[in-house]
Structure 1
């Protein structure tokens, strides 16, 4: 094949090398850019993992803190007044208030006096709009509660079982305690309510009433702390 005018074999060789070097530099540059993008992508992903773990840890710590407050709400009954009558204790050991506390109890009540005395078994509920922090409330079963619908009629309880309670914590999350288990899941609480409603309809209780507090004693728990 005839050579192009003015182009020598040495010139063609030099031109090919320049093309090779040019493409090599372009390839190396592209590879460097690709490597930088990969490195940046790996760094971004690792940063995402760290942020995700930090968020999960923060959420878990916050959940633990909220459960810690909820776990410091307690209600129990004791037979300390003599004559078989009871005292109901409501306690908030945390440093923050809780709201809309509702307590469900079952109890044996005493009606009448002397020869006309009779007993009844009822299901009752009472509550607090706000239960203040570091508070212990003691309610006498003898004269501390009365039926909201009959404020002049004293309710004398001689036996009480705490059945359930619910409340909102300091940030508004609702908690339930039925059968001694504290949870945010209302499934068991709803089942308890359905069973109670059925029992009332079937006549298993002598009465169903909402209660109000007539007078209470207040104190402060000895171990009122918050982590």
Structure 2
């Protein structure tokens, strides 16, 4: 009878060990699946912001302050410029489509001509605070000097104020310089 009891205890220990190994294997599998899902999420986010990440802007002095918008992507993108000047609420100058693989120089005079009040004070300081990008997939992005993020009301109060204050205005393209870029597309 003792033998049967030892066999039963041994069978119970083996069964418990089997359950423990199965539970451990299930836990490891769940962690691997969770890691793969997180990696997939990161890759999707990178893919989603790829075009917007290739569109940048800066201001450079050239007599007056011109704004340069560089689209290093293979797709055109709609771009609006958020402008402020001292003492005036921000306004949005709707530039339109920026061609793929191009550098666009937008003269300060055009941004000033887009001013909702058509102010003529040449001493006012105009600054491009951000650009709004609508990518080839229709997603809207907010790019400032230090950030690129999807447009949301919570993240961009400046844009909300500008949109409430003035309607977007179209900047004429007669004085805009468009130049091809050498570095474009999948490189970089």
TM-score (norm 2): 0.66
Match of 2:82?
104
Query: CA 1:88/1:178 → structure 2, altered by over 3 Å: closer, same or farther?
Result: closer
Match of 1:217?
177
CA distance, structure 2, for counterparts of residue 122 and residue 22 of structure 1: 89
TM-score (norm 1): 0.57
- In the TM superposition, 1:130-169 aligns within 5 A as 130-142=97-109, 160-169=126-135
How far the C-alpha of 1:136 sits from its partner, in A, is 1.8
Match of 1:37?
19
Contact 2:95 2:170 in 1 (8 A): no
Contact 2:82 2:159 in 1 (8 A): no
Query: CA 1:37/1:123 → structure 2, altered by over 3 Å: closer, same or farther?
Result: closer
Structure 2: runs of 5+ lacking an equivalent: none
Match of 1:93?
72
Find the residue that maps to 2:157 and give its secondary structure: helix
CA distance, structure 1, for counterparts of residue 89 and residue 158 of structure 2: 19
- Among 88, 103, 125, the residue aligned to 2:92: 125
- Among 117, 136, 141, the residue aligned to 1:175: 141
Q: Count how many residue pairs are aligned between Structure 1 and Structure 2.
A: 180
Contact 1:136 1:221 in 2 (8 A): yes
Find the residue that maps to 1:213 and give its secondary structure: coil
**CA deviation vs aligned residue, 1:121-166 (integer Å, no higher than 9, x gap):** 78542335654432222234456996599xxx9x9x8964212222
Structure 1: runs of 5+ lacking an equivalent: 1-16, 109-120, 201-206
CA RMSD, 1 decimal: 4.2
Mark the structure with the bigger radius of gyration: 1
CA distance, structure 1, for counterparts of residue 180 and residue 28 of structure 2: 49
Query: CA 1:172/1:54 → structure 2, altered by over 3 Å: closer, same or farther?
Result: farther
How far the C-alpha of 1:104 sits from its partner, in A, is 1.4
Contact 1:146 1:214 in 2 (8 A): no
Query: CA 1:208/1:38 → structure 2, altered by over 3 Å: closer, same or farther?
Result: closer
Find the residue that maps to 2:156 and give its secondary structure: helix
How far the C-alpha of 1:208 sits from its partner, in A, is 7.8
